[in-house]
Structure 1
Amino acid sequence: MTKPQVHVISHTHWDREWYMPYEKHHFRLVRLLDSVLDLLDRDEHFRSFHLDGQTIIVDDYLQVRPEQRERITRFIREGRLIIGPWYVLQDEFLTSAEANVRNLQIGHREASALGRVAKVGYFPDSFGNMGQAPQLLAQAGIRVAVFGRGVRPKGKHARADASSYESPYSEMVWESPDGTRVLGVLFANWYNNGMEIPVDAGQARAYWDKRLANAEKYASTSQLLLMNGCDHQPVQEDLTAALQTARELYPNYEFVHSNFVDYCEMLVHATPDDLTVIAGELRSQGTDGWGTLVNTASARVYLKQANERIQSYLEKVVEPLAAISHLSGYAYPHAELAYAWKTLMQNHPHDSICGCSVDEVHREMMTRFAKAEAMAQAIAEDSLKELAVKIDTSAFGTRAGSFPFIVFNTAGRERSGVLSVDLEVDKRPLLVPTPEEAATNVSLYQPLPQNMAAELEKLDITGFGVFDLDGNRIDAEIADLGVQFGYMLPDHGFRQPYMSRRIRVKLSVGPVPALGCKSYALAPIEEQDLQVGTEPKSLVTGPCRMANGHLAVDIAPNGTIELTHLSTGRVYRNLLTFEDTGDIGNEYMFMQPPGVQPLYSDGLKAEIKLVEDLPCTASYEIVHEWEIPANADSLLDKERQYLVAFPLRKCGRANNTVSLKLRTLVTLDADARELKFRVRFDNQATDHRLRVLFPTAIAGTQHHADSIFEIASRNTQPSAGWKNPSYTQHQHAFVAIDDDASGLAVANRGLNEYEVLRDGQGTIALTLLRAVGELGDWGHFPTPEAQCLGEHTAEFALIPYAGESSRHNAATIAYGFQTPWTVMQKEVGKGRYPGEYAWLDWEGEALALSSFKISAETGDLVARWFNTSRTPTALRILSADGAEAAYKTTILEEAVPLEVRHALPCVMQIRPAEIITAAFVRR
C-alpha cells in the first residue's frame, strides 16, 4: 500500500502593509528574504520557499538589496523560490475585472522574466473569490486554484450540501458560470496548519498526531498538505531536522519538503470522481455571516472612489486612446502603462484596498493613487496630442473663426450625453525670445506688454454658437471663464507659457460611436443660424418636476423621488430616503448597536431648489438638515480596549447630536435613460453608517449585481444558517432587481457595498459612508481616520428598464456612467480620419466590451468582451481600423498556435458567460 505523502510547503503570507505601515513590513521582508536565501545556499535539503503567489515581493526586496538580483533569479530559475502567478494578492471583488487581468498578466510577465512562473491559482486570504476565477485561470493555463475562504469544509465522513457551499473534502471542483472547471483546494485547516514544526521528538509526536488527523479529516486523497508558515512568518531554519524527526516517528507516512507546483501535479492525478462541484462566487454564503469580512467594501469609502476613478480611467479611457493613437502610427506606451498599473495595483492587496489597515497605510495609498492618476493623465494627453493632427476638421473651415473640438467615446457602446468643454478662443505667448536668444540660442526671454489681459478680454463671445459637422446648430450654454495662464511643452523645444481667453461650453453630444469620435465647433453665429434653436426648451415640467422622452421625475416635499419609466409605465415611489444607523463594528464588519433603531430622512422637510434649466439638462438641489447622534456612547471605547468581540458589544449611540447637511443634486439630461445624483455632505459624526434607499416594489428571491466579468445573480434571502442581521454584498458598476416586465438598476461610482433589504419592498440600500474607529481582527489597533470626518461626495444613478430581457441594456448604461468622456480641441485642418469615426465596429447581444488595447506580448490590437447573459450569443466584428483578420487569444493575450484567423467582417459564437479576447491582424 502506498504511503500517504505529507507535502510540507514553506511559505510566508506577506501582507505588504496592514497593522504596521508599509516600510515597517518592508524592513521585515528584507530580513526574511535574507534568511531564506542564506538557508537555500547552506541547506540542500531545504528544497524551496513559496513567495505567496505574488511577484511584487521580489520588487520590494530588490529595492533594498539590488545586489541580490542574480542570486534571487538563480533560485527562481532552479525552482527553489516559487513566484507568481500574480503581481499582488488582490482583493478580487474590490478591483475591476480588467484590474484582475492586468494583475495576472503582469505577474506572469515578471515571473517569467525572473525565471519561472508558478502555474497555481493562489488566493490564500482573499475576502471571497470571484465566480469567474476558474475561467480566468484556465485561459492562463492554470488547472488548480488554492483558496482560504468561501466554502465550508464538513469532513469526509459528514454529509455536505453543495447548494450551501459545503464540501466534505478540502478538494472540490470549482466551476465558472461558463462551465469552465478547475480543481479547487481549500485551506480547510488554514494556511498555517504546518507552521513551527518541532524538532524535539516528544513535542513532535503531539504536534503531528493533531496535524495529520486534521489534514486527513478533509483530504480526498493520500496527498496531505501542511503549510509551514503564516502571516509575516520568518522561515523555519531547522525544518530539515524537524522533518527528519517526523520521518523517524511516522514511518508509515512519506514526508516531503514540497512546493505547490509538485503538490498540485500529484493531486490532479489522485482526486476521486465524487468531488463536490461548487459553482460561481465563493462569498461565505454557507456560514453564519459574522466572518465574511464583506463590510470592507464600505470601510474608508474614499479609497474605493479613488480606485474606481483611476482604474476606470486607465482601462476605459487611457488604454483605448493609446491604442487609437498607435493605430495611426504612434508608439504605444507599454512601459508607462505598466508603471501606472503597477502603481495602482500596489493599492490592491486585500488589506490595502479593503481599508482594513492602520491609518498610516491608507495615507500612503492616497499618494499612490495620485501618482498612478498623474501618469495616466500624461499618457492620455500625449495620445491626444498625437491624434490632434490625425482627425479631419476641415468641414468647419467654411465658418470663419471656428474652434473645433473632438469628443471621444471610449466606452464599448454608442452613447449620447451632456458634457462641459473648456475651449481656448484666443491664445498669446506670455514670453518671447530676445534678439540675444535668436543669435546665441540661449533661453533668455522678455515679457510681453502688460495690457495683454485687457486685450484678451476684448473678445466678444455673445455671438458664438456650437455646430456639428453638417453645420447644424446645437443647443449649448456658453460661459466666459476669463483670461487664464497655460503652457505647452513641445517635443523639441523649451516650454512655452501663454495667456488665453477661455470659454466653457455645456452641450448634449451624440450619438457618438463606440470607440470612436464626433467633431463639433464653437463658431460665430451667422444670419442664417438665427432662426435655428430659437424656440425655448426646457425639461422642467412643473414645480419640482422634470421629464424627457424616457423618464418623468417628481420630487416630494420630504425630498423623496417618484420616478416614472415612460415606455413601461412603471412608477417607482419613495426613492432617495437616507438611512443613518450606529456602527460599533470595525473596518472589517458592520455592527448595529443592539436595540437601537436607524434614523430616516423621509420625516424631514427638505429644501428644494431648481439650480439648472437648460435645453440639454435640468437639475434640482435637495437639501436635508438632519440632527444625528454625534458618536457611540462611552462604553464603546472600553469594549474596544478590552477586545470585546463586536457581535457581543452592548454599547449604543450617544444622546448629543451633530448636524448632517445632505445636498443632493438630481440631474436629468435631455436624451438620458438614467437619473443622476450627486450627494455632498460634511461628516462630523463618528461610529455610524449612512445609506440611501430605493424601494423597487419588485418581488423576487434573486437580484443581480455587476461582478468580475459577469452579472451575478444572488439570493436576496441568506442561507438558513445565517445569523448576521445584515446581508450586505459587493458590486462594481450596478445592482438591479427585475421581473418579466420591469426593473430598476442603481449604478454607482466607487460605492461598492449594497444590500437588498428583506422588507417586502425589494429595497436597494446603497452605502455612502461607514465611519468606524478600529482595525479589528487580532488586536486593538485604533484607526481614528477611518471615521472619515470631513467633506464627501457620492455619485450614483437610477436606471429603470423593461425587465429581465433588457437587463443588459441597463448594464450598458451603468458601464457608460463609469466611463468619462474625453474632449480634445484642435485647429481647423485636414486629417487622416474623418471628423466622425469608429476604430472598432462590432455588434453582439448582451456582450460588454471591457478592454481595447495593444498586447504587450504580441503587439497586436486586442479587444475583450464578456457575455453578460446565461445564453449563447454571437460577436460580429464588422471592422477594426487597419485590420484584415481577427483570432481568439487567451486572457494573457499570448499568440495561440494554429488559432483560426477570421477574415473581417466575421462572426464568433460566444458561450454563456464566456470571456472572449480577440486579437487583430493588421494589413
Structure 2
Amino acid sequence: MDQIKIIDGINDAIAKLRALTQTNVQQGWRYCNGDIPYPVATQPQTWEKWSIAQRNEKDYITWSAGRQVIWLSQRFLVPQDLQRYPLSGLGLRLVLTWWAESAQIFVNGQLLQEGDLFDSSTRMLLNSTVVPGQEFAVALRLVSPGHDIGGLMRSQILYEATNDDIDPGFVADELTILQNYSASFDPEQLATLAKAVAEIDWEMVSQRTEFMRSLTELRQQLSTIENSNFRIQNSQNSIQMLGHAHLDLAWLWPVSETWDVAVRTFESVLKLQQEFPDFTFCHTTPALYAWIEQHRPDLFKAIKQQVAAGRWEIVGGMWVEPELNLIDGESIVRQILYAQRYVQKTFGQLTTVAWVTDSFGFCWQLPQLLKQGGIDYFVTQKLQWNDTTKFPYGAFWWQSPDGSQIFSLMSPPNVAGVMDTNPITMASYAIDWEIQTSLKDAFWLPGVGDHGGGPTRDMLQVARRWQKSPFFPKLEFTTASDYLFKVSRLFAKRGLLAKVSRLFAKRGLLAKVSRLFAKRGLLAKVAGGIENLSVGSLGEEEIRTEDSGGGKGQSQTTKEIPVWNDELYLEFHRGCYTTHADQKRYLRRCEGLLYQAELFAALKTIATGQAYPKTELEEAWKKVLFNQFHDILPGTSIPEVFVDANQAWQEVEEVTGEILEESLNAIASKITLPPPPKPNAQAIIVFNPLNWQRSEVIAISLAISLPVSIPVGSIEWEVYDCFGEKIVSQVSHDQAQQIQNHDNNNHNLSYSQIELLFLASNIPSVGYRVFWLCSNTEHLKLELRPSNRFPIPHSRFPTPDSRLPTPDSRFPIPDSQLPIEDFVLENQYLRVVVDRETGELSSVFDQVNQREVLSGRGNQLQAFEDSGQYWDAWNIDPNYADHPLPSTELIGIEWIETGVLRQRLRVVRRLMRSQFCQDYILSAESPVVKIATTVDWQERHVLVKAAFPLAIDADYVSYEMPCGVIQRSTRPQTPAEQAKWEVPALRWADLSDETYGVSLLNDCKYGYDAQASQLRLTLLRSPTWPDPETDQGIHQFTYALYPHQGSWRSADTVKLAYQLNLAFLSSLWSPANSSVVSNNVSNNSRPSLPSTGQLLNLSAKTLILMTLKQSEDIPEQWILRCYESHGESANLSLVSDLGLKVVHPVDLLERPISVSEPSPDEKVVKIEPWKITSLAVKSII
C-alpha cells in the first residue's frame, strides 16, 4: 500500500473519532469591547445585541493592547449526539486557551475560574454527567496585556468519559501516539496500524455500547500483534514526571505579591499530594523557603514533612535563580554557599541539582563552581528559546575551562509558562528526546509557572488516566536527582563500553574480551561502578570542543557522549546586559563594597581581636543575592520592583560602608606612624584592597576652615612619603565659599572643599602606606575634615523628580569660543588628541611602542533605533545596525585640569534630547585614558554604544567572565558564532593581534560587541515595557581605553580593570584625636603594625583574591579564596604581616578537601589553570 495512503487512512480515522466527542466553538463567540458590570454582561439577553467576533487567519480572536477589556459570550446546548454518537452520561469540558493579563470565566452567571498570562488555559468541567438539552451560558471577561494585543486562541467543547472507561477521543489520542512512534522508529508498522484501524465498525456509531466494543477490540488487536512495538509501555519507554511551579520572585508583580503566590501554590501542592499519593513536586529558592519558615511556620512544617517523605524535592542550589552572566564569581559562590547551608540546616540534606530553568544564559565557569558547591547536576530549559540555532544536546557533560564537568540536562521547553499533561504533547516530546539522546526515559514537568500555581488537579487526573494505557510510555513520578542519577549512570556505562570497544577493536581482541567478561559477569559490574565519566556512546555526535584559554571552538565527529566546553550562550535577551543601568551599577558597587568590607573586617579582627560582623555581612550578602534574581538585575520588571530593589541596594551600601570605615579605622589605630616631616603634618593612610602592589594618582577630599582673610588658593600643600621624601602633589579644584560657622558664634570663618592629588606609589598587596600632608599655614590652626575617618562614597542615583528640566541647565556648558590650540592630553605612555569639531578622539598615540592606536575617530557615540521587539526590555532589535540615528552635536569643550599629575578635558555633546558630559582623564604613570561620563538620558527605544575603531586586525576578542576569560570570534562563520552579535562581559574586553592589543575597561557596563578592528561598549538603551520610564534621567559611569603591547595576559589587563573598579581607600588620620601616638604601644596584646604594611600577599602574579572572610563554622579560621586568571599554573605562597598561614584546602561549602595540616616545608599551594581555590587559613601571631 502507498505510504501516503496509509498515513491518510490513519489520519482520517483519527479525525472521525475526534469529531464524535469534540467540537470547535471558536466561531460562536459574541463580543463587547469595553468593561461593563458582570451581572449585566453574564445575562444571555444582553448578548443578543452583540456581534459575532471576527477571527484572524490563525482562528484567533484578538483585541487591542494596553489592558483593554473584551467580553465574549456564548450559549452551549448539549445535543443528543455528535456525528450520531450518543453523548448522554459523558462529562462535558470547556477547553480554552487565552493570552490575557486577566481572565474570568462565568458559567450561568457564576464566576467559576480565573487566570492570567501564565495560568493561560483550562479544561473546565462544566458537568460530570451531561443530559441532552442542558444549556450552559458562558461569559469570558478578558483583559489584554499592557504590552501586547489580547487573544483567545482556542475554544472547544469536549465530551469525555469521567471514569476509567475509554471514549472515542481517548482512542484517537492513542492512535495518534502509535502513529508517531511508528513513523519515528519503525515506519513499516504503519501499514499494520492502518489495517487494524480500517476494521473499526463505523456503522455502529449510533449504538455507543457496540461501537465502544469495536474500539476495545481494536485496542486488544493492536496489543497482541506479534513483532510490533505497539505496547509502548512494554518497550522500556517511560516519561518521568515531577511537578513544578516556576515562581519569579518579581517580574510583572512586586515581591510582596510573590509571598502570597508562594503560599497559595504550596498549599495547593500539599492538598493535591493528599489526593494523589504518587505525586512528587520540586521547588527552588531557599530565600523563599526562609520567608515561609518565618511567616507561615505551619505551612513550612508541612513542607518539611513532605521533604522527609521524599515527595517534595528541594532543587536549585542557589539562594535565588540568579542572572548568571553579569554577577561576579564570588556572588555565584555566595548564591551556592548560603543556599546549601540553609537547605542542609533546615532539611537535613544538600541540594544536588542546580535548577535554573529561566536565567538568560550561563557563564563558562559555572560547572566548576557548582561542583565545588556539592552539586552534581545542572538543569535548564532556557536555551530552547534560542532565536538562531537549536542547542544540539539534551543531555551532556558541561565542562569549565579548568576541566571540571557537570552532568547537564535541557529540560522540556516551556515558553507559555504552562506545561500540562496533554498525552500527545508528552509523547511527542518523548519521541524527540529519544531521537536526540537515544534515551527511552524522558523527563516532564507538569505545572503552571512564572506566577506560581503548580500542577492542577486536572493535570494529575489526566496523567492518572494515561498511566493505564498500554499504548503510552510508562508514566510515573520521580525526583530530579533520581532521574539525573539514572541517566548519568547510563551514559557512564555507555562511555565505558565505547572505550573498551575502541581499545580492543584495534587489536582484534574485542570478541574474545566480550566473551570472557560475559562469562564472568564482570562487564556490568565494571560499567556500573563508573560515574560522571565524560565519554559515552550515543551514535555519531558533533561535539563542541574549546581551548580552555578562551572558547575557540572546533567541531569533531565522535561516538562519545557530548561534552560542551564553552559558555551556554542564550541567543536571545541580549538587551538584559544593559537595560536598567542603575541595577548594573548598584551590582558592581555592592559587590565591590562587600569584598572590601569582608576583607578589612577580617583583617581588623585578626589584627585587633575586635568582633567580626558576620551577621551584618551575611544579611547584606543575601540582599544582594536576592537582587541578582533573573528579572531584577536584568532590568526586566515593573517599576515597583525597582523601588524595592533600590532600597535594598542602598541598605547594603550603608551597612558595608560603615563596616569598611570602622574596620579601616581599627587597623589604622594599630599602625605606628613615622616621625612627621613638619609639626603641623597630617597623616594620610592609603589602603590597597587588591592583592598586588600598585601605584596610582589618588585624590583626597579636604574640608577646611580658615579665616575669611586668607584665600584658600593661597595655601601651598605638600605631601611626603613615610620616609620624609617630598612627592609631587596637585590641587585639582576648589569650591571655596564663605558660610556661617556651625556654632553661629564665628562669622569670620570660610569653609572650603578642595581635592588634592598625589601619586601614591608602591602600595603593598592588600596593604597600606602612610603619607604626610603639610601646608604653609603653620601659624594657623586648620580644621581638616573628615579626620579619623575613611569616607566611603556612595552611589548617587537620582529620583525621578531630580531630572534636570531644561537642556541648557543640565551641565555647565563650556565657552563656545574654543581656543585655537589642539586639545591634547599627554604623559609618558600616551598622547591623546580630542577632535575640536566633534569631541571624539582623533588620535591615541602609544608613545612607548610608537604607533597609532585608532583607525578612525574613537569614542564615537553611535545611536540606533531599537524598537519593535516583543520582549522589549529583554531584546535588542537584531537589525538595529540598519537604523542608525543622527550623530551627536558638540556643545563645548574645556579644560578642567592641566596639572602634572592629572589632565582632565571636558566634552559636552547633545544626542537628540539627551546630553553626554564626558571627561577625558589621563593621569601620570598611567597607560589608561579614562572617560568619566554623566548622561542626562531622555530617549525612548534608542540604543547607544561607544565605538573604538582600532588599528588592529584580530581573529578573536577576549572578554572577562566570572573567574576567567572567554574568547569569541571576530570573524563569525557558523550560525552559532554569528548569533553572538551582542555578548556579556564583566570589567573588560580586549582585542589583540599577535603583537599588540587594546583593552576596553568599564566600571558598571556589561554589553559588548566586536569586529576584527573595532570594540564597542553598549552604554544605554531605553525600552518602555515593562517599565515605561526605563533609564530616563541621570547616569554616571566610567570606561577606559588601554593600549598595550602583546596580549591581555602580558599587559595585565585583568589587574588594570580591577583597579578601575576598586580605587585606593584613603583619608586623613590625626594622632592627636586617636589613641595612637608616634612610637605608640599597642592598645591591646596584639602587636602594632609598621608604617608600610602588607596584610595579605598571594605571591603569584596571576592569582586574583576573591574573598577573605571568617569561616562559617570555625571562628578562629578564615576562608581565603582566589582564582587563577591567565590559564597558567600558579604557586600560592601566603605572605602576611599578620602571620596568616594555610591550614588546608576547602570547597565552596568550606568543607575540608584535605584534613592533614601541611608540614613547614609545604608552604606553596599549587593552583591549576583557571582553578578557583579556597583555603582555610589562620593567624599564628
> Which band: TM-score by shorter chain?
0.7 to 0.9
The answer to whether 1:337 aligns with 2:617 is yes
Larger radius of gyration: 2
Structure 2 counterpart of 1:134, from 364, 367, 386 = 367
Q: Which residue of 1 is the match for residue 757 of structure 2?
A: 506
Secondary structure at the aligned position of 2:627 is classed as: coil
The answer to whether 1:465 aligns with 2:696 is no
CA distance in 1, matches of 2:835, 2:880: 33
CA distance in 1, matches of 2:625, 2:978: 32
CA distance in 1, matches of 2:631, 2:688: 35
Q: Which amino acid aligns with 1:90?
A: P
Q: Which residue of 1 is the match for residue 1129 of structure 2?
A: 872
Q: CA deviation at 1:712?
A: 0.8
Q: Which residue of 2 is the match for residue 210 of structure 1?
A: 428
Q: Which residue of 1 is the match for residue 331 of structure 2?
A: 99
Which structure's relative contact order is higher, taking Cα pairs within 8 Å and 6+ residues apart? 1
Aligned positions of 1:875-894 closer than 5 A: 875-879=1132-1136, 881-894=1138-1151
CA distance in 2, matches of 1:152, 1:325: 48
Q: CA deviation at 1:120?
A: 1.0
Q: Is the 8 A contact 1:193 1:211 kept in 2?
A: no
Secondary structure at the aligned position of 1:619 is classed as: strand
Q: Which residue of 1 is the match for residue 689 of structure 2?
A: 410
Q: 1:70 to 1:205 in 2, by over 3 A?
A: closer
Q: Which residue of 1 is the match for residue 944 of structure 2?
A: 690
The answer to whether 1:279 aligns with 2:565 is yes
Q: Which residue of 2 is the match for residue 14 of structure 1?
A: 247
Q: Is the 8 A contact 2:350 2:374 kept in 1?
A: no
Q: 1:899 to 1:502 in 2, by over 3 A?
A: farther
The answer to whether 1:804 aligns with 2:1090 is no
Q: CA deviation at 1:856?
A: 2.0
Q: Which amino acid aligns with 1:130?
A: C
Aligned positions of 1:737-752 closer than 5 A: 737-752=991-1006
The answer to whether 1:623 aligns with 2:866 is no
Q: Is the 8 A contact 1:884 1:903 kept in 2?
A: no
Q: Which residue of 2 is the match for residue 225 of structure 1?
A: 443
How many residue pairs get aligned? The number is 806
Could you report, residue by residue, the CA deviation over 1:110-140 in whole angstroms, capped at 9, with x for unpaired residues?
A: 1112113321122211211111111111212
Secondary structure at the aligned position of 2:652 is classed as: helix
Give 5+ residue unaligned stretches, structure 1: 155-160, 198-203, 427-452, 488-498, 528-539, 629-657, 776-782
The answer to whether 1:368 aligns with 2:624 is no
Q: Which residue of 1 is the match for residue 935 of structure 2?
A: 681
Could you report, residue by residue, the CA deviation over 1:159-211 in whole angstroms, capped at 9, with x for unpaired residues?
A: xx9xx8843x41111111111112111125449899333xxxxxx65455434
Aligned positions of 1:100-499 closer than 5 A: 100-115=332-347, 116-150=349-383, 166-167=391-392, 169-190=393-414, 195-197=419-421, 205-206=423-424, 208-229=426-447, 230-236=449-455, 238=457, 241-250=461-470, 253-271=473-491, 272=494, 273-274=536-537, 275-284=561-570, 289=571, 292-315=572-595, 317-328=596-607, 329-396=609-676, 399-423=678-702, 462=715, 464-478=717-731, 479=734
CA distance in 1, matches of 2:1139, 2:976: 56
Q: Is the 8 A contact 2:396 2:563 kept in 1?
A: yes
Q: Which amino acid aligns with 1:98?
A: E
Q: Is the 8 A contact 2:433 2:439 kept in 1?
A: no
CA distance in 2, matches of 1:28, 1:688: 35
Q: Which residue of 1 is the match for residue 35 of structure 2?
A: none
CA distance in 2, matches of 1:352, 1:790: 19
Aligned positions of 1:522-561 closer than 5 A: 522-525=773-776, 543-557=822-836, 558-561=838-841
CA distance in 2, matches of 1:576, 1:564: 15
Q: Is the 8 A contact 1:403 1:425 kept in 2?
A: no
Q: CA deviation at 1:79?
A: 4.0
Q: Is the 8 A contact 1:864 1:915 kept in 2?
A: yes
Could you report, residue by residue, the CA deviation over 1:331-378 in whole angstroms, capped at 9, with x for unpaired residues?
A: 221111111111112211111111112222223222221122112112
CA distance in 2, matches of 1:456, 1:825: 25
Q: CA deviation at 1:751?
A: 0.9
Secondary structure at the aligned position of 1:750 is classed as: coil
Q: Which amino acid aligns with 2:372?
A: Q
Q: Which residue of 2 is the match for residue 430 of structure 1?
A: none
CA distance in 2, matches of 1:694, 1:746: 9
Q: Is the 8 A contact 1:134 1:176 kept in 2?
A: yes
Q: Which residue of 1 is the match for residue 926 of structure 2?
A: 672
Q: Which residue of 1 is the match for residue 1107 of structure 2?
A: 851
Aligned positions of 1:820-835 closer than 5 A: 820-828=1063-1071, 829=1077, 830=1080, 832-835=1088-1091
Q: CA deviation at 1:593?
A: 6.8
Q: CA deviation at 1:837?
A: 0.5
Q: Is the 8 A contact 1:747 1:796 kept in 2?
A: yes
Q: CA deviation at 1:623?
A: 2.4
Secondary structure at the aligned position of 1:785 is classed as: coil
CA distance in 1, matches of 2:565, 2:602: 36
Q: CA deviation at 1:227?
A: 0.9
CA distance in 1, matches of 2:1178, 2:1023: 53
Q: Which amino acid aligns with 2:333?
A: V
Q: Which residue of 1 is the match for residue 1171 of structure 2?
A: 914
Q: Which amino acid aligns with 1:117?
A: L
Q: Is the 8 A contact 2:412 2:444 kept in 1?
A: no
Q: Which residue of 1 is the match for residue 1029 of structure 2?
A: 785
Could you report, residue by residue, the CA deviation over 1:491-547 in whole angstroms, capped at 9, with x for unpaired residues?
A: xxxxxxxx99876433221221121111122234599xxxxxxxxxxxx99741222
TM-score by length of 2: 0.64
Secondary structure at the aligned position of 1:469 is classed as: coil
TM-score by length of 1: 0.81
Give 5+ residue unaligned stretches, structure 2: 1-233, 495-535, 538-560, 743-749, 779-818, 1072-1076, 1083-1087
CA distance in 1, matches of 2:770, 2:342: 41
Q: Which amino acid aligns with 1:187?
A: S
Q: Is the 8 A contact 2:382 2:413 kept in 1?
A: no
Q: Which residue of 1 is the match for residue 864 of structure 2?
A: 581
Q: CA deviation at 1:423?
A: 4.7
> Which region of structure 1 is more displaced relative to structure 2, 356-365 or 823-832?
823-832
Q: Which amino acid aligns with 1:554?
A: V
Q: CA deviation at 1:752?
A: 0.6
CA distance in 2, matches of 1:820, 1:608: 27
Identity level (%): 20
Q: Which residue of 2 is the match for residue 817 of structure 1?
A: 1060
Secondary structure at the aligned position of 1:575 is classed as: coil
Q: CA deviation at 1:458?
A: 11
Secondary structure at the aligned position of 1:611 is classed as: strand
Q: Is the 8 A contact 1:808 1:868 kept in 2?
A: no
Q: Which amino acid aligns with 1:171?
A: A
Secondary structure at the aligned position of 1:842 is classed as: coil
Q: CA deviation at 1:553?
A: 1.5
Q: Which residue of 1 is the match for residue 772 of structure 2?
A: 521
Structure 2 counterpart of 1:49, from 281, 303, 306 = 281
CA distance in 2, matches of 1:237, 1:102: 35
Q: CA deviation at 1:463?
A: 5.1
Q: 1:919 to 1:208 in 2, by over 3 A?
A: closer
CA distance in 2, matches of 1:206, 1:914: 46
Q: 1:567 to 1:825 in 2, by over 3 A?
A: same
Could you report, residue by residue, the CA deviation over 1:601-621 in whole angstroms, capped at 9, with x for unpaired residues?
A: 48x556332110222211111
Secondary structure at the aligned position of 2:832 is classed as: strand
CA distance in 1, matches of 2:436, 2:338: 34
Q: Which residue of 1 is the match for residue 91 of structure 2?
A: none
Q: 1:515 to 1:904 in 2, by over 3 A?
A: farther
Q: CA deviation at 1:578?
A: 1.3
Q: Which amino acid aligns with 2:1028?
A: P
Q: Which amino acid aligns with 1:864?
A: R
Q: CA deviation at 1:791?
A: 2.0
> Which region of structure 1 is more displaced relative to structure 2, 411-420 or 275-284?
411-420
Q: 1:356 to 1:807 in 2, by over 3 A?
A: farther
Secondary structure at the aligned position of 1:766 is classed as: strand
Could you report, residue by residue, the CA deviation over 1:300-348 in whole angstroms, capped at 9, with x for unpaired residues?
A: 2222112111112212x21111111121112221111111111112211
> Which region of structure 1 is more displaced relative to structure 2, 218-227 or 67-76?
67-76
Q: 1:834 to 1:483 in 2, by over 3 A?
A: farther
